């Protein structure tokens, strides 16, 4: 791995990019310095983040933060189905932004917030793309770009606060039913009835609590269970598919790749995160 190098901003305030990296691309090792922050939002594809303390993955709708003094490199797998497309910024935050930058760390000086399926994801994505568009214009637009970055951080804090809000007990009951029957997923109407709700009311409460529909939440839960089984057991892929409610192994592989960014075999071989 190459020697760590500092990221230098194009101006005292802001450096930016919207870039697509082809499969097989490997970065140099970078670190933020001089009070600069590095943020990135994955638009498509996946990349492996390599940090001094461990590794993780960037997937579509992930928002990454590298704090001042942090170091990382990344690579796009040669087996990736598509390029990794990311919009990123290196900037010196305004002093009043300090509360907006207080986020849980996955590793020291590194945060990754998964926004897939959450109701504020679209607002955050649009704000970052607007920031890039403004930053690409003449220098007088830099302040507007910073305002757009601030707006994305504000929406991110709203998203984080909504995740911490107490979950309606009926939604929790539905989640418990789903989790007990991942091998044979129950119908949404039957679960709604068990919770004393109509299917439409259950759907509304689910979106309030999780930002996604019951169907989407259930599929993520099934595929997350499959990912755990792939990494922790030697069970055949066909058996794991059946254990998570997929009778068609090909359909299982398609859905797994779409959500997890790799095939079941690649996941088992350690080319995805734990």
Nearest to 228 by CA among 256, 255, 201: 256
| pLDDT value for 105 | 87
CATH number given to 5-164: 2.60.120.280
| pLDDT value for 10 | 46
The domain segmentation of the chain, as residue ranges, is 5-164, 170-268
Report the distance separating Cα 116 and Cα 28, nearest Å: 28
Report the distance separating Cα 262 and Cα 61, nearest Å: 16
Task: Outline where DSSP puts E strands in the chain.
Answer: 5-6, 14-21, 30-31, 37-44, 47-51, 54-58, 62-66, 71-75, 84-91, 110-114
Residue where the block lists tokens 């979950």? 167
Fold of 170-268: Arc Repressor Mutant, subunit A (1.10.10)
Given a contact cutoff of 8 angstroms between Cβ atoms, the answer to whether 97 and 153 are in contact is yes
| pLDDT value for 1 | 32
- Report DSSP state, residue 48: E
Give me the tens of pLDDT residue by residue for the chain, a chain 274 residues long.
Answer: 333 344 443 455 789 999 999 999 999 988 888 889 999 999 999 999 999 988 999 999 999 999 999 999 999 999 888 899 999 999 999 888 988 898 888 889 999 998 887 878 889 999 999 999 999 887 668 889 999 999 999 999 888 877 766 668 898 899 889 988 989 999 999 999 999 999 999 998 888 777 778 998 898 889 888 887 887 778 899 999 999 999 999 999 999 888 777 789 888 876 544 3
| pLDDT value for 172 | 83
- CA distances to 21, 172, 192, 221 from 198, rounded to whole Å, are 46, 16, 6, 22
* CB neighbour burial string for 131-155, b if at least 16 within 10 angstroms, e if fewer: bbebbeeeeeebeebbebbbbbbbb
| pLDDT value for 67 | 94
| pLDDT value for 140 | 67
């Amino acid at each position: 791995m190459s020697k760590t190098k500092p990221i230098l901003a194009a101006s005292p305030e802001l450096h930016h990019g919207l870039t697509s990296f082809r499969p097989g691309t490997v970065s140099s090792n970078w670190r933020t310095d001089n009070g600069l922050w590095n943020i990135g939002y994955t638009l498509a594809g996946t990349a492996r983040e390599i940090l001094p303390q461990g590794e993780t993955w960037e997937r579509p709708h992930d928002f990454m933060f590298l704090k001042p003094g942090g170091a990382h490199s990344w690579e796009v797998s040669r087996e990736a189905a598509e390029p990794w497309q990311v919009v990123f910024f290196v900037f010196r935050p305004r002093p009043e932004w300090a509360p907006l930058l207080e986020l849980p760390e996955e590793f020291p000086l590194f945060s990754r917030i998964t926004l897939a399926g959450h109701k504020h994801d679209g607002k955050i994505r649009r704000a970052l793309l607007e920031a890039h568009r403004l930053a690409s214009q003449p220098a007088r637009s830099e302040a507007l770009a910073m305002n757009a970055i601030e707006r994305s951080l504000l929406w991110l804090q709203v998203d984080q606060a909504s995740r911490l809000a107490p979950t309606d007990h009926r939604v929790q009951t539905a989640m418990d039913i789903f989790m007990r029957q991942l091998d044979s997923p129950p119908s949404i109407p039957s679960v709604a009835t068990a919770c004393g709700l109509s299917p439409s009311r259950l759907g509304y409460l689910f979106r309030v609590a999780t930002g996604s529909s019951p169907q989407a939440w259930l599929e993520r839960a099934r595929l997350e269970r499959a990912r755990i089984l792939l990494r922790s057991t030697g069970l055949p892929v066909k058996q794991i598919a059946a254990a998570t409610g997929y009778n068609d192994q090909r359909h299982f592989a398609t859905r797994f790749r779409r959500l997890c960014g790799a095939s079941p075999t690649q996941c088992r071989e350690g080319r995805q995160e734990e």
